[in-house]
Structure formats: structure tokens, C-alpha cells
Structure 1
């Protein structure tokens, strides 16, 4: 994406989208208010500092970007921001902007401009003016109904998944719009609702309701159906997906494995009733399977269970802690984590490329910019003919 210019008006909703474009080679200019954008004011922090350069969120999500501060309540700075946006291929706005920076105003001067507008509930509709944070969108998008234990309150997914989903959905749509503009088409205004991204990103819950009239419930820590769910093992937990999903293949392979291991009662799992979803949904079926599988799993580590099931093409995944992820052999082989120096001189691992593309390689971004670090260079860009 070398040669592509992105202007991002600092806001949490657009930060990951800007990072994705920058990682694939685009120039990303981060327009921040005086004092810095919101990610600079949020922890976790580097050591005991609480200043604009010490936020690890800023270090992670603003890596590789260039920074300029503009006061969007000041007429001269609005004009500077307008010129900067008109000379961009993509504008990312995760919050409200002055009318002079609306897509309609900018597109009058740059007809091929793509504007990505991200907001909690979209720019139109009865909730368009509502404010929301990540947990609000998780709730109103439906994800909290699925997260947690059946006998407890809903639990929020970690890592601000709603915010990340809005950036990811928006970046995908923006890239498609840029390709169309480059092929001779017009620019586009992309309106992304964080709530709708959550609703479309929660597995098959919507399809269960739409196609089968079933409202999925949260079942954290339990089997969703016999053979499919969370099971304890020697060093934590694993998620096995054997029963009720492509059951003829996965179930048969799982039963063959358990029989080969000589587990008491495993031969009984060959009975045809175990291919009937109505039976798999019953508590008695879940109890029988757990009594066969859990003692076996508790004697083995996550790694041992993953190796055994991978060899048999049985879907089983470790439930990883943060330490497990840092030590993952798969992520190490991919070179996923990249070491980067932070402001206090330490070198810490940061997430790298979310995917590897042969024709559009990911570039390791430079450290996140100091506040207003690129002001002179960017002002010269504005003054250029």
C-alpha cells in the first residue's frame, strides 16, 4: 500500500484501522487534539508515568503513525485539517468532526476520497446521537448474552472486542472502496456502527435464531452439547468440539480415539443415539461423556491433548492464558510478536502482523510518535502545491 495516504483523526474507534493500513505500507497521519489523543491518556502505563508518551495502548495502536496536533475548535486549524484530508486517499474518523470535515464537504474537493466514519450506533437512526463504550456495544450487540456462566451474570470479553471489531470491519470496507476509487470509480462514505459489528461477529447466534428459532444462552465452563464444550486438563482447560457439529466426522474420530486409549465406557459412544442432537442436548448425555473423557483429560496437558487431536483431525483448542500465548510455538514460528523499544528504554513484545500476505507484506512499524513530532513535515506538505 505504499503511496496510500491515510489521515486518522485520533479516537479509539479508528486506531486499529489506522494501524492495519500502516502495517501494510500506507502513510498514516494521526491528527490529535492539543494534549494528545485519547489513547495517550489511558493505561496500562510505562512504569509510574502518566504522561502522553507513557501509555502502552498508544505504543501498540499508534505505532508507525505520524503525529500532528490541531485544535478542531480553531478556524485556522480546521482549514489545515481540511486541506490535509483533501489530499488523502482515506480519512478515518472515530468521533464527531466539524462540518467542514464532513465527507460531503471534503468530497467536493476530492471526489475519490474515501471516508470511514465509526460510531457506536451509526450516523443515522434513533440511536445515532447516543454515546457508548465497548461494554455498551457488547451488551446491545448481543454478545453479553453468550459470555459468562449459565448461573452467573454476563461477562465482558477482554481486550475491547467491540472497539476492535468496528475498526476491523471498517478497514475491510474502506479497502474495498479504495480499490474501487483507484479503478476509476468515485469515493465513498462508509458508515460503521460498533453495535452492528458486534451483532455480526458472534459466531452463529443470529443464524440459530433466524433459522431454528433458538436463542442461544451462555454456557461458559460447560458442554454446549455432549462432547462439545470446556473440559479440565492437567494444566488448565481445553475446548473440544466433537458432538453435534459435523458429527459424523468429528464424533466418529473422537470415539475411535477414546476407544484406542481403552477408556471405560467409550465403546458405548458408538451407539447411533450419539449422532442424534436431541440426545446430545440432554444432561444425561453430557454427564456420561464427561465421566468418560474428564479423567482421561485431567492426566494430560493442553499440549498433549492438542497433539493427539491434531493428528486425528479432531477440533480441540487449548484455553490459553496470556503466558501461554507469549510462549506459543505457533506464534513464534510465524514471527507474530515483534520486540519494540518503549519510551523508558525497555524492549517489550508487541503483536505483529495479524496475517501474512505474499504480495502485500506487513512491515514492522516504527515506534509510536511523540506528540506533535511530525508537525513541521506535515505543515510543509500542506504548503506544497
Structure 2
């Protein structure tokens, strides 16, 4: 048996859509992550897509993916009994991941200070839209709001259209991933010092980290970076349609790249109609390459030729000739991609309500001694309540009483 990297680590995950993925990162690496859900389940259970397009607490594919390898219990943290049980669980835990508004945990006697008094080694990672302090701290936010106020939405899409939201709750995922990294650092520090800490993660700040040098460009040069042009940034550079989708071509636009001469030779070898129009001194002038005329001429010739070929053929031939060219992959392309297949990126996805075979993304890294693995499907609502509570001495009549009161489920 191969050891799990985070085996022995206990995590209580009481987060929602902004943090469930953070808990998954710990669980799939071997930590004992207990998903603590309110009666009715975490909000992610109610988000599509649903199996068979039928809503239900056990049918959300979003929930099923973000909660693999966890155990799950139902606990009403708005009750005194639920709060007492949570404190007992936290007394033996290393980390709590939560996404409640600032002050929500403290008002229920389960905030960082209260938990630290019981367990000095515990860390609490609080993932919120804007952090625990500041004028926005108590504001709520969706993923779209996070992208907008973090600045990334402004950079998405094309210059001649409204900003475009990236697919898949990228702001939430950004906060969850930064949250997991920061939480792991806090846990590591606690192992060395014996003292946990409160980790304050802001979704807005996490998104802002994805702006690369856009903020520095404005700070140093007073220039606001804009969304790219809808067609080509330069002649010979940009997204272009082909027979079965789109490709990205980067043969011109930056300096005197040898890819341009290679591209011209390629076009001649393949008999591209009108390729001779791309010769001449003006095609070595960067200002000309930025002009509408140059982009129109190149686009007219290249698109007509590219539409005769598949993106796979264009990619293969471009690679042979040392030309920066890449296919724009669809989800279907990724599932069949030979590189991803060889690396085992996609792993089996199991669900009691899903009859046909399915796959999901695994980990984007390989650890040869302590490999990543899905240890169990996402828990059914309250699936492990009795099991987990028995570990702190709650069973039999006591457990039945909690069920009857609606405290546990």
C-alpha cells in the first residue's frame, strides 16, 4: 500500500461553493476531510448540471466533483447542540475550512478564538468574497462579481464587445486554490510550532493575482491594458477558424521571428492561393503588421487556406516546421487528447445514479511516492454522520435524540 501525502491530517469542511474545491484538494491527497453540511445540504448540491437534468440533493455533478474523497455529516450549527458537537470535532482537527460571512462563526461560539482555546494547533481558513476586514468585508458576491471587482472580467473577451465571463466559476476556484495553499502553509507551521492560525483569504484579492502585469503596466506607464482585438493582434498572429474549429497562430508580430519565413515556405509548399502577396519589405515593418490592411490581407489568404484543413493537421505540420501554432481544444478534444491520455489526467467518475461510464479531471501533477487518488465518491447527505459522531462518543440513544431534534442527520 502506498502512503497518502496528507494521511493523518483531519480537516472540517463547512464551506460552500467558494470553498468545497479547497477541501477536495486535501481529501484527494489523503487527508480525512469531513464535509459538515446544514440540514438540506450544502448550497453546491443545488447547483447544475444535474444528472438527467433533474434537480435533487444527490444529483448535482458540480457537488459530486468538488467533494470526492470526503466523509459527510449533517449538523445544524444554528443550534447549541450542533455547536457543541462541532467544537468536540474541532478539538481533534488540524484545519477548518469555512466560507461564512465575517463574524458568523464567532457569533456561534465556533470562531477561530473559541476553537484555538480548545485546540491550540488548529488553523481556520476563512474564504470570503472580500476578506475579514475593510469596507467590503460584509458584502456578498457571486463568481461574476468576484471576476468583475478583481479586474479579470475586464480582460476577458474582445475589445469590440462587452467583457466576457470565463466558464466554470473561475473566481471561486481561484479563491479555493489560494485558500488551500495558504491553509497548508498554516498547518505546516502549526506542526513545527504547535500554534495554529487564522488564515484570511479574499476572493477579490485572489482574482487580482491573475492579472499578470496589468496593474504594474498602469502603475508604471499609466496605460490600461485592454481586451485583444476580435480577429488578429498583428497580421499572422491570433485566432483563426479552420475546417473543424479554431487554431492559434503566432508566426508574426514580435521582433523578427524566423517563424514568419518558415510560414511563408509552408504556404508555398502547400500551394496556398495568393501566398505571393505576403512577400515584400512592408511585411517586415511592425507598424504595417498592426494595420487593418495587413490583417485583412493575411486573414483573407490564411483563413481560406486553413478552412481546407483540420486543426490536428495544421498543428502537426506547424510543429514539424517550428511554427508557433496550437489547436483550440474543445472539451471533447481534451478527453481524447493523446498527451492527457498518456498522463492519466482523466480518471473514472462513479455515482450511484449514473448508469453510463464517465470520467472527470484528476490531478495536474504526479507524485511518485504519495500519489493523488479519489478514495471515495462524494458523500450522500448525512452518509457518515453516525460513523463520525461515534468517534467522539455519540451513539445509540444520544444519536437518535440528535436525529429526532434535527440537530444531526
Q: TM-score, normalised by structure 2?
A: 0.85
User: Superposition pairs for residues 112-261 of structure 1, below 5 Å?
Assistant: 112-184=121-193, 186-219=195-228, 221-244=230-253, 247-248=255-256, 251-261=257-267
Post-superposition shift, 1:14? 0.7
Partners in 1 of 2:82 and 2:169 — Cα distance? 31
Where 1:13 maps in the other structure, the secondary structure is coil
Where 2:177 maps in the other structure, the secondary structure is helix
Cα deviations by residue, 1:199-240 (Å, 9 ceiling, x for unpaired): 211344334323433212223632233433211111111122
Q: 1:304 aligns with which of 302, 313, 323?
A: 313
Range moving further from structure 2, 156-165 or 339-348? 339-348
* Contact kept in structure 2, 1:255 and 1:266, CA below 8 Å: no
User: Superposition pairs for residues 59-70 of structure 1, below 5 Å?
Assistant: 59-70=64-75
* Contact kept in structure 1, 2:20 and 2:67, CA below 8 Å: yes
* Contact kept in structure 1, 2:51 and 2:354, CA below 8 Å: no
Cα deviations by residue, 1:165-200 (Å, 9 ceiling, x for unpaired): 110111122222222222336322221111111121
Where 2:349 maps in the other structure, the secondary structure is strand
| Aligned residue number for residue 332 of structure 2 | 323
Cα deviations by residue, 1:348-370 (Å, 9 ceiling, x for unpaired): 21221232223431112311111
Post-superposition shift, 1:330? 2.0
Range moving further from structure 2, 310-319 or 105-114? 310-319
The yes-or-no answer on 1:30 pairing with 2:35 is yes
* Contact kept in structure 2, 1:259 and 1:266, CA below 8 Å: no
| Aligned residue number for residue 19 of structure 1 | 24
State the number of aligned residues. 378
Range moving further from structure 2, 363-372 or 345-354? 345-354
For structure 2, the 5+ residue unaligned runs are: 1-5, 269-274, 395-409
* Contact kept in structure 2, 1:116 and 1:192, CA below 8 Å: yes
Partners in 2 of 1:148 and 1:271 — Cα distance? 28
| Aligned residue number for residue 5 of structure 1 | 10
User: Superposition pairs for residues 78-89 of structure 1, below 5 Å?
Assistant: 78-89=83-94
Range moving further from structure 2, 172-181 or 73-82? 172-181
Higher Cα radius of gyration: 2
* Contact kept in structure 2, 1:255 and 1:269, CA below 8 Å: no
Q: CA RMSD in A?
A: 2.3
Cα deviations by residue, 1:242-301 (Å, 9 ceiling, x for unpaired): 4445x45xx322432332431334444795424xxx554443443344345333322221
Post-superposition shift, 1:66? 0.5
* Contact kept in structure 1, 2:262 and 2:323, CA below 8 Å: no
Distance 1:220-1:103 versus aligned 2 partners, 3 A rule: farther
| Aligned residue number for residue 55 of structure 2 | 50
| Aligned residue number for residue 102 of structure 1 | 111
Partners in 2 of 1:307 and 1:270 — Cα distance? 29
Where 2:358 maps in the other structure, the secondary structure is strand
Partners in 2 of 1:111 and 1:280 — Cα distance? 63
